[in-house]
Structure 1
Amino acid sequence: MADQEFDYIVVGAGTAGCLLANRLSADPANRVLLIEAGGRDNYHWIHIPVGYLYCIDNPRTDWRFRTEPDPGLNGRSLIYPRGKTLGGCSSINGMLYIRGQARDYDGWAEFTGESAWRWENCLADFMKHEDHHRLDAGGDADAAHRDFHGHGGEWRVEKQRLSWQVLDDFATAAVEAGIPRTRDFNRGDNEGVDYFEVNQRKGWRWNTSKAFLRGAETRGNLTLWHSSQVLGLELQRGESGEPRCTGVRVERGGAEVVARVAREVILAAGAIGSPQLLQLSGIGPAALLAEHDIPVVVDLPGVGENLQDHLQIRSVYRVTGAKTLNTMANSLVGKAKIGLEYVLKRTGPMSMAPSQLCAFTHSSEAYEHPNIEYHVQPLSLPAFGQPLHDFPAITASVCNLNPTSRGTVRITSRDPRQAPAIAPNYLSTPEDRKVAADSLRVTRRIAAQPAFAKYQPEEVKPGVEFQSDEDLARLAGDIGTTIFHPVGTTRMGRDDDPMAVVDPHLRVRGVAGLRVVDAGVMPTLTSGNTNSPTLMIAEKAAAWILAGE
């Protein structure tokens, strides 16, 4: 296979990569190559919303990473899903449309010195690709909604096509506990309780492959290589001595080929894949590279550091007199009814996102802003992938939105096919352990309110016998699981920041012709789900790349 040359090469056809490929190839003069290690998104379970259960930890759609045994989780190791198919994580994630809080982006602007990251300047990037259901003809948008949401873009946002009385009552109980109702989590202050809005279209998952590639793939200037793994970056030193990225080495069709680039290589391989590729290519902490006999091209100590993630702590409540999925799906007749409803109407449990009801609130009075998020489901199970309990129950998962714990992503071999070591270091700070304990108390306070108490809730997990900060923090380690939001491993920062991997316009420090555009560039985790913020980052980066900035 002969070497080929392109103007832009995008590594990773996930959330950011699909949007980038679309925007960069809109000009027919730009020759764009999009490379994806996984296959096409033609697996039927990708598109049926409840199919995430069959996509996560499935080699057809998931890299199947695992974390290192984590002291904060009392030595447990977790599965760590990352999408490996067209659409990337948007093909296997929870489909939940949450932007975060205005203060997240204002903090990025202050941290980097780049005003483009301020909330009011990011809002236009969110709206540019948005297609919000309330702005449809006959929709129920109010005047303020039109100021915060877009219509006609590629990224569809819809209401969920279901409701559950037990969740409605949990929401009322949250109001009784002091959490206000909201109609919109995405105006910059997400405090409140309501059902999540989802990235679906008429009951089907709406991933970034459908949104951004389906129309663009027919462009003659856009080349897609799927089922092709990037092995490393091609780097050359110019007359100035500064290295430049001139292409990528790719395993494609059983052979190794070099794709050359005239302008830029853009890494959009995610908060795990992008730092791994940088380290394999000699860009990263010098000591780590030396450990694996990799020549140091640029000593960037921040590559693979600063890993942040949301740890969800799952409280399970057994209930009496409520319809839950546990009882509906634990018989052949119940499963048949569920399947038939989806076939005929595209509604019901098969249209469910992993979580239905959302709430943002405070773990204690010490926080002026909402610092915890709830994902509430009308079901329960011992652990992900296991059968539902045989009794009616709900799960109220809560996560610390702004954890202070920091982890790492580090290669374990020179072989790009070997998974890196992922060490999130959950609950490794006193503040995170305190928030974990307090958030479990907030869950108990909601469950005790009259609207929910009528179900005679019994706390199955973690159990009412655990009351002290120490007990609850330890139990959080026993029952906590990732909510799949890794960020920060290639974070942006000022020029004088020794741990910054990319500059505020996402160019890799010390290497010409190379950027990172994915969740890894976030200096801090957004206060909510990370898929749509990653799209916003890609939208902003695409404009900079096209402008040569």
Structure 2
Amino acid sequence: MARGRVAGAFAQLLALSSVCFAYADIVSELSAREISASEAKSSYDFIVVGGGQAGLVIANRLTEDPHKSVLLVEYGYISTDPAQEDPSSAKGLNNQLNATVYAAAVLGGGSTGMMLDRGAPDDYDNWEKLGNKGWGWSDLLPYFKKATHLVPPVPSIANEFNVTWDLSAYGPKNTPIELSFPTFMYPGTKNQYKGMIEAGVTPQKEGALHAYGLFWYPGALTAKEVKRSYAVSGYYRPISSRKNLHLLTGTRVNEILFSKSKRATGVTIQARGTPDGENVQVIKAHKEIVLTAGFLHTPHILQRSGVGPAALLRAANIPVVVDLPGVGHNLQDHAAGLPAFQFNTDVTPNPDSLTNNATFQAWADELWAANRTGPRSIGVGNVGAWIPLPVLTPEYKSIVSTIRSQDITEYLPSSYDRDLLAGHKKQRELIAASYTKTTSGAIELPFGGSPAFSLSLEHPLSRGTVMLDPTNKYAEPIVDYHSLSNPVDALVLAKSVQFGRKWMSTPAMRELSPTEVAPGAALQSDEELINAVRGGSIASTAHGCCTAALSPRNQGGVVSPDLLVYGVKGLSVGDVSTIPLITGAHTCATVYAIAEKAADLIKARH
């Protein structure tokens, strides 16, 4: 065994050295379009504010025309860590305060996540039902395909674990983002999959077309190299030779500038870390400014620029360009409960074997070093259940009735005005209707052989806010998730704990002898479980969205179906903040589709 470990270590060294040499070339490519502020031109055709996932997609597509110049401004920097591309790498929460709010300040942004699942068709059809023509499932499916392609799993894994997929859900091999499956899965996953069916969840062939029930989903990893496939590798690196693109990192966009006719004419920028107001630079945009600064900073920049709730702007002594109350409202995320079980007769190997079994760990390391296969090819898991409310609980009709009878003003932020209330009323009815269907998941429960799992609330009724600090508009914005402020959200999570117990008690799962650790089997009533959920849940799973929503203006919307900001000209938004209703999925795949569609809309205008 000692000899084998030495050989494995040597193989790892060789693999690491080759990775480092390859990554040196990658870093060179990434820096090819990077400029300093002093090198920036005085004007460009387009300015894209935010070099995250959406910004890189849009910059790629706009620079396909060599006659159009694009400046991409990013507050973060280019990551030069090789590990960047490897896998593995609240009010209603019992008054929890001062929690960390995550925003990806790095080139590529939130696309550095690896779980790339789409929402159910019902999710996107609800967007269209809010008054957003052209944003239903059939409209967005071509853009999902334009962004991604799938490499099927190796036959041995597909056969042993009954992995299913449908290549018609994806684009051709030359699309930017590659999806694949790992070359190893833990055997306990079979028990969990079978147990989920025994608990009443219907399996689906392909989650990219039918994202409800039980299904396998790929990860954003290349199949051959097992490297992260994300906006940098798929959209930015291939265009690093384009002369009509400039990248300015470590730079904050302070404000958008408007003419007297309220046309966006340019931006003021400042080097990150520079004292406010010092060395401010103005750069003009001839055609359009596109905001892609994410759920946190897209509304923040709009507010600093005089576009947002008038009362807030006046409190901060910011001249009001457009009174647009929806800016910074409608914040949604997937709050999650975190129950805990242990398996007393677990199958081996299992995920814990990587830390408590030296022989298994050595074997996994050797496989990874030799050909990047085995347990370390697993990213964030590849199977889970999106459980419809009628499957989750027999009391679903009572829950839907409660939703429809609520006074909508009682649980929303006090800053909601008439238009925002009207918009939420429509949202509430769509959520209630979806809660009666078996084609929409109310709770996400991913698994992968471990007794630990999360219960994510997929369609929350609670709404939060992102507002600038009136005492310092350049300080980070004030975020209030208002998680579980609507009691129905807490009740649905409590019901999901009961469903988790049902799953654990199925014949397939009893083979593993599960024992509940938290919240504890002694807690049985709805009231007890609701209290446990409020004290043991998290407000965010880093899926913040919806703060510059795509909706009619008289329903609290910020952008129209063409993604142009209401009340001004020459300014659009193309990122996660435009989502009107959060999807029952991680947001990454949806952002690719939004950004691809945004690029087409912008190009058609110019």
Q: TM-score per shorter chain, which class?
A: 0.7 to 0.9
Equivalent position amino acid for 1:233 in 2: I
1:368 matches 2:463: no
Report which of the two has the higher share of strand. Answer: 1
Counterpart position of 1:346: 372
Cα distance in 1 between the residues matched to 2:465 and 2:45 = 33
1:448 matches 2:505: yes
Q: Which blocks of at least 5 consecutive residues in structure 1 are unaligned?
A: 52-68, 380-393
Choose the corresponding residue for 1:318, options 336, 339, 342: 342
* 8 Å contact from structure 2 (residues 465, 480) kept in 1: yes
Q: CA 1:103–1:484 in structure 2 vs 1: closer, same or farther (change >3 Å)? A: same
Cα deviation, residue 4, structure 1 = 1.7
1:210 matches 2:239: no
Provide the aligned length of Structure 1 versus Structure 2.
509
Aligned identity (percent) is 29
Equivalent position amino acid for 2:549 in 1: R
Counterpart position of 1:198: 219
The alignment partner of 1:218 has SS state of coil
Choose the corresponding residue for 2:178, options 136, 156, 165: 156
Counterpart position of 2:122: 103
Q: Could you report, residue by residue, the CA deviation over 1:412-462 in whole angstroms, capped at 9, with x for unpaired residues?
A: 156465211111111111221221111111111111111111111111121
Q: CA 1:35–1:149 in structure 2 vs 1: closer, same or farther (change >3 Å)? A: same
Choose the corresponding residue for 2:144, options 110, 126, 131: 126
The alignment partner of 1:79 has SS state of coil
Cα deviation, residue 229, structure 1 = 1.8
* 8 Å contact from structure 1 (residues 396, 443) kept in 2: no
* 8 Å contact from structure 1 (residues 160, 196) kept in 2: no
Counterpart position of 2:545: 487
1:75 matches 2:96: yes
Q: CA 1:143–1:179 in structure 2 vs 1: closer, same or farther (change >3 Å)? A: closer
1:271 matches 2:271: no
Choose the corresponding residue for 2:578, options 521, 526, 541: 521
1:357 matches 2:383: yes
* 8 Å contact from structure 1 (residues 302, 490) kept in 2: yes
Counterpart position of 2:135: 117
Cα deviation, residue 112, structure 1 = 2.0
Cα distance in 2 between the residues matched to 1:228 and 1:414 = 22
Q: Could you report, residue by residue, the CA deviation over 1:348-379 in whole angstroms, capped at 9, with x for unpaired residues?
A: 44433334431111222423233211122545
Counterpart position of 1:303: 327
Report which of the two has the higher share of helix. Answer: 2
* 8 Å contact from structure 2 (residues 316, 473) kept in 1: no
Cα distance in 2 between the residues matched to 1:164 and 1:14 = 33
Q: CA 1:330–1:250 in structure 2 vs 1: closer, same or farther (change >3 Å)? A: farther
Choose the corresponding residue for 1:4, options 26, 42, 63: 42
* 8 Å contact from structure 1 (residues 278, 284) kept in 2: yes
Q: CA 1:466–1:148 in structure 2 vs 1: closer, same or farther (change >3 Å)? A: same
Q: Could you report, residue by residue, the CA deviation over 1:92-121 in whole angstroms, capped at 9, with x for unpaired residues?
A: x2x11211011111111121241x112111
Cα distance in 1 between the residues matched to 2:49 and 2:363 = 43
1:15 matches 2:86: no
Counterpart position of 1:90: 111
The alignment partner of 1:343 has SS state of helix
Cα distance in 1 between the residues matched to 2:256 and 2:216 = 43
Cα deviation, residue 134, structure 1 = 3.5
Equivalent position amino acid for 1:199 in 2: A
The alignment partner of 2:445 has SS state of strand
The alignment partner of 1:395 has SS state of coil
Counterpart position of 1:389: none
The alignment partner of 2:454 has SS state of strand
* 8 Å contact from structure 2 (residues 256, 301) kept in 1: yes
Q: What is the Cα-based RMSD across aligned positions, in Å?
A: 2.6
Equivalent position amino acid for 2:71 in 1: L
Choose the corresponding residue for 1:245, options 258, 264, 271: 264
Choose the corresponding residue for 2:318, options 286, 289, 294: 294
Equivalent position amino acid for 2:150 in 1: H
TM-score (norm 2): 0.79
TM-score (norm 1): 0.87
* 8 Å contact from structure 2 (residues 192, 449) kept in 1: no
Counterpart position of 2:208: 186
Cα distance in 2 between the residues matched to 1:83 and 1:330 = 32
* 8 Å contact from structure 2 (residues 458, 583) kept in 1: yes
Q: CA 1:293–1:3 in structure 2 vs 1: closer, same or farther (change >3 Å)? A: farther
Cα distance in 2 between the residues matched to 1:9 and 1:328 = 46
Counterpart position of 1:431: 488
Q: How does 1:486-505 map to 2 (within 5 A)?
A: 486-497=544-555, 499-505=556-562
* 8 Å contact from structure 1 (residues 266, 516) kept in 2: yes
* 8 Å contact from structure 2 (residues 340, 519) kept in 1: yes
Q: CA 1:458–1:414 in structure 2 vs 1: closer, same or farther (change >3 Å)? A: same
Counterpart position of 2:523: 466
Counterpart position of 2:461: 404
Equivalent position amino acid for 1:87 in 2: G
Equivalent position amino acid for 1:260 in 2: K
Cα deviation, residue 317, structure 1 = 1.1
Counterpart position of 2:81: 43
Choose the corresponding residue for 1:283, options 289, 294, 307: 307
The alignment partner of 1:489 has SS state of coil
Larger displacement relative to structure 2 (306-315 or 224-233) = 224-233
Cα deviation, residue 335, structure 1 = 5.4
